[in-house]
Amino acid sequence: MEIVFATHNQHKLEEVMQMLPENISLLSLDDIGFNQEIEETGDTFALNAAIKAKVISASTERNVFADDSGLVIEALNGAPGIYSARYAGTGNSKDNIVKVLNELKGETNRNAYFIAVICLILDKKEYYFEGRINGTITEEIMGEEGFGYDPIFIPEGHSLSFAQMSPEQKNSLSHRGKAVELLHDFLLKKH
């Protein structure tokens, strides 16, 4: 079964490919030549995932899933939230990390969670899957692996940041991993 994953991000594609059943052929937007800019105008992760999935499904007539994910920090009233990827305004992960660390200087409440919501459009029907992982924000960058906010997020019950973990270890804990696991189980039942 072929499914389009609504991403141009090679890191995300590889991460998700490792988590889906082998009989699923995962295609990126680059693989299908889809380059249309999709504005994420929703005010929730679920709405943004649905916007992406619906636009791609309508224009390609393929089965597709899109995710929207982000980092939610208690002391920042939920920021960066749905703006996680563009929080610093530059689209650069390092800039986003620096902004978060600066905003949290001197803050003792460093509670946060990563959330991922997947919207799957399969045979023209919509399905949603949500994954979440609680943790804390570090005071400095820790680790070289991963991407996005991984170097400053330590999942609950662990002492390493996501960026210090192996991809397998991170995937077994991560918000995206949990959402993809629900998607995986659903797809196994369907096909």
| CA dihedral over 129, 135, 141, 146, signed as positive or negative | negative
Distance CA 129, CA 138 (A): 28
Distance CA 52, CA 162 (A): 27
Tell me whether residue 43 is one of the annotated catalytic residues: no
Catalytic-labelled residue, pool 30, 31, 68, 123: 68
CA-based R_g, the chain, Å: 16
Q: Which residue has the tokens 């960026």?
A: 163
Indicate the helix (H) or strand (E) that contains 186: helix 175-190
CB-based contacts of 19, cutoff 8 Å, min separation 6: 171, 177, 180, 181, 184
Distance CA 119, CA 105 (A): 36
Residues recognised as catalytic: 68
